[in-house]
């Protein structure tokens, strides 16, 4: 039986579509939003719409940004000769939280997964290869420790090594099957510092 009005039910239904939000959390959020001042609700709705309309991919590293090139790629204080390859922008954010990595990034937007029909052409690999024509000394592969992440790491290594560029993989410390976005900064930092050439 539906206890709520159509408007509340629709709001709960939309919130349930968010990752990690079940029916109870969606109901709690919906009632919280309804109790908020109208101006705050309008600001929330506006920020959601603005973010969705204005966010695009950086033309260099393919992280999300609201400009043509992200702040990391534009920074003259970063080491542009070292590129860390990650699967998602969330992984990039996890490494940025350590405050210890001073290179730049390349976001693949996925990992090779033949079982899911995702091949090398479905992620940002050709764009990575194009970046290597510049003055790149090292590529750090920081894909997840899943089967797909390992497959992607090996593929990238075989792709890049013939160019004479150093290729390294983040070290253990990141648990097998773990997602980078869920790992604490200390573990991520140890994995970065203990990376090995592959």
Q: What is the pLDDT of residues 33-50, one digit of tens each?
A: 999 999 999 999 999 999
Structure tokens at 152: 């992607």
Count of CB atoms within 10 A of residue 102's CB? 11
Residue 180 pLDDT: 74
Q: Is residue 59 part of a domain?
A: no
Task: Please check whether residues 37 and 79 belong to one and the same domain.
Answer: no
Q: Is residue 76 part of a domain?
A: yes
Strand, helix or coil at 123?
coil
Res 169 pLDDT > 70:
yes
> pLDDT tens across 108-148, in order?
999 999 888 998 899 999 999 999 988 899 999 999 878 88
Count the domains in the chain: 2
Task: Please check whether residues 13 and 92 belong to one and the same domain.
Answer: no
109: Cβ contacts below 8 Å, ≥ 6 apart: 62, 87, 88, 123, 124
- Number of residues that this document lists for the chain: 198
Task: Please check whether residues 93 and 134 belong to one and the same domain.
Answer: yes
Task: Please check whether residues 150 and 90 belong to one and the same domain.
Answer: yes
Region 54-80 average pLDDT: 94
Range of the domain at 127: 64-197
Region 148-153 average pLDDT: 89
Task: Please check whether residues 42 and 85 belong to one and the same domain.
Answer: no
Task: Please check whether residues 71 and 163 belong to one and the same domain.
Answer: yes
Task: Please check whether residues 74 and 145 belong to one and the same domain.
Answer: yes
Residue 175 pLDDT: 67
Residue 186 pLDDT: 64
Question: Which DSSP string do the residues of 58-71 spell out, in sequence order?
Answer: -TTT--EESSSS-H
Task: Please check whether residues 36 and 116 belong to one and the same domain.
Answer: no
The domain boundary, picked from 54, 73, 90, lies at 54
Region 157-166 average pLDDT: 89
Task: Please check whether residues 10 and 98 belong to one and the same domain.
Answer: no
What is the average pLDDT score of the chain?
A: 88
Domain containing 185 — which CATH number?
3.40.1360.10
Question: Which DSSP string do the residues of 16-65 spell out, in sequence order?
Answer: HTSTT--HHHHHHHHHHHHHS-HHHHHHHHHHHHHHHHH-EE-TTT--EE
Residue 25 pLDDT: 93
Residue 1 pLDDT: 36
Distance CA 20, CA 95 (A): 22
113: Cβ contacts below 8 Å, ≥ 6 apart: 148, 151
């Amino acid at each position: 039986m539906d206890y709520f009005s159509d408007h509340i039910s629709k709001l709960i239904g939309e919130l349930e579509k968010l990752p990690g939000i079940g029916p109870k959390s969606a109901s709690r959020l919906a009632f919280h939003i309804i109790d908020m001042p109208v101006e705050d609700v309008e600001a929330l709705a506006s920020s959601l719409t603005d973010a969705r309309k204005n966010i695009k991919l950086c033309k260099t590293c393919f992280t999300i940004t609201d400009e043509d090139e992200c702040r990391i790629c534009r920074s003259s204080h970063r080491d542009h000769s070292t590129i860390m390859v990650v699967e998602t922008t969330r992984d990039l954010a996890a490494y940025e939280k350590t405050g210890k990595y001073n290179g730049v990034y390349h976001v693949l937007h996925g990992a090779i997964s033949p079982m899911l029909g995702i091949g090398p052409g479905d992620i940002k690999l050709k764009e990575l290869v194009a970046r290597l024509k510049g003055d790149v000394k090292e590529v750090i592969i920081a894909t997840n420790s899943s089967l797909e992440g390992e497959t992607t790491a090996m593929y990238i290594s075989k792709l890049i090594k013939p160019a004479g560029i150093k290729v390294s993989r983040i070290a253990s410390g990141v648990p097998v099957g773990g997602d980078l976005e869920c790992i604490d900064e200390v573990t991520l930092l140890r994995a970065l510092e203990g990376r090995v050439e592959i």
